[in-house]
């Protein structure tokens, strides 16, 4: 099981690193005033995370199946390790944010010339790959930057809650399947109960606010410079969301187990 845990741990890190780094693609697009191209690159990043999730989800379910054979197997400890991987992946993304803003700026400029992703990939040379070291930047986190742009505290808190729900959704449903083995199939498919709440909050409260902030940045040079700090603040809130997921997983699993019993 340790080998499976290592694979899931790495995949979870990749998923959360990729999803969090989508902010760097958006920011690069705003800086170049090419937000539509940046959003297409964001879609590719999301594709990477979802592809990793296709492998991660069955391997995670394997832990629940193994617990049926070995009652002494501590499923919750393994799930908490996976949640820790989500936090580490987010931290990695925060550290890489300045570097990837530069890289995505370069990619967007090259994409304009190439005209398509396949042509862009085929035009990459070994020398260009070696030159990527010149785009490396150190993260520069200061508490003062978290007061920029007048972003309401409610917006940040909601982002923490949404991240916690999304992070814990699948794991909570699988842990519920472990708690009520007689309803294990139904419980394992119930992640939508948790993720659905997060989706509603994201769609109604977070996406419109983030869209307004981004739109303001495209029309105002001063706001454009501050947008990177806003995205950093959002990434930090995502990290706290993954940490909150450690507290949410047990109550979320019990809620799901009670719902499937009632259904």
pLDDT in tens, 116-126: 777 767 766 66
pTM: 0.84
Regions of the chain where pLDDT drops below 70:
50, 52-54, 113-115, 120, 123-150, 222-223
**N-to-C CA span, the chain:** 33
Q: Helices 207-219 and 2-31, interaxial angle, to 10°? A: 40
What is residue 71's predicted lDDT score, i.e. its pLDDT?
Answer: 80
What is residue 105's predicted lDDT score, i.e. its pLDDT?
Answer: 84
What is residue 87's predicted lDDT score, i.e. its pLDDT?
Answer: 95
What is residue 132's predicted lDDT score, i.e. its pLDDT?
Answer: 65
State the DSSP code for 253: H
Residue tagged 């699948």 (tokens): 170
What is residue 9's predicted lDDT score, i.e. its pLDDT?
Answer: 92
Among candidate residues 108, 111, 78, the one with its CA nearest the CA of residue 9: 78
What is residue 92's predicted lDDT score, i.e. its pLDDT?
Answer: 94
What is residue 36's predicted lDDT score, i.e. its pLDDT?
Answer: 78
Among candidate residues 227, 207, 219, the one with its CA nearest the CA of residue 33: 219
Rounded-to-integer distance, Cα 156 and Cα 161, Å:
9
Rounded-to-integer distance, Cα 249 and Cα 73, Å:
18
pLDDT digits (tens, 9 = 90+) for 180-215: 888 887 887 777 777 777 778 778 877 787 777 777
What is residue 32's predicted lDDT score, i.e. its pLDDT?
Answer: 82
What is residue 123's predicted lDDT score, i.e. its pLDDT?
Answer: 66
Q: What residues have CB less than 8 Å from 56, skipping those under 6 apart?
A: 8, 11, 12, 15
Rounded-to-integer distance, Cα 160 and Cα 101, Å:
23
Q: How high does pLDDT run on average in the chain?
A: 81
What is residue 73's predicted lDDT score, i.e. its pLDDT?
Answer: 86
Cα–Cα distances in angstroms (integers) from residue 159 to residues 50, 80, 177, 189, in the given order:
20, 21, 27, 25
Rounded-to-integer distance, Cα 156 and Cα 236, Å:
9
């Amino acid at each position: 099981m340790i080998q499976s845990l290592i694979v899931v741990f790495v995949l979870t890190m990749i998923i959360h690193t990729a999803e969090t780094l989508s902010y760097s693609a958006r920011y690069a697009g705003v800086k170049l005033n090419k937000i539509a191209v940046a959003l297409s690159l964001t879609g590719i990043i999301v594709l990477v995370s979802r592809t990793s999730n296709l492998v991660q989800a069955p391997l995670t379910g394997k832990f629940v199946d193994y617990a049926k054979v070995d009652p002494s197997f501590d499923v919750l400890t393994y799930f908490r390790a996976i949640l820790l991987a989500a936090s580490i992946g987010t931290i990695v993304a925060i550290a890489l944010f300045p570097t990837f803003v530069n890289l995505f700026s370069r990619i967007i400029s090259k994409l304009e010339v190439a005209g398509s992703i396949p042509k862009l990939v085929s035009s990459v040379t070994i020398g260009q790959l070696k030159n990527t070291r010149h785009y490396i930047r150190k993260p520069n986190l200061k508490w003062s930057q978290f007061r920029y742009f007048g972003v309401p505290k409610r917006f940040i808190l909601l982002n923490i809650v949404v991240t916690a729900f999304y992070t814990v959704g699948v794991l909570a449903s699988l842990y519920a399947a472990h708690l009520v083995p007689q309803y294990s199939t139904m419980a394992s498919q119930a992640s939508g109960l948790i993720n659905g709440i997060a989706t509603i909050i994201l769609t109604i409260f977070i996406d419109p606010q983030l869209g307004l902030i981004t739109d303001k940045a495209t029309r105002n040079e001063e706001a454009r410079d501050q947008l990177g700090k806003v995205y950093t603040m959002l990434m930090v809130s995502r990290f706290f969301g993954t940490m909150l997921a450690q507290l949410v997983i047990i109550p979320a699993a019990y809620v799901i187990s009670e719902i499937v019993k009632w259904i």
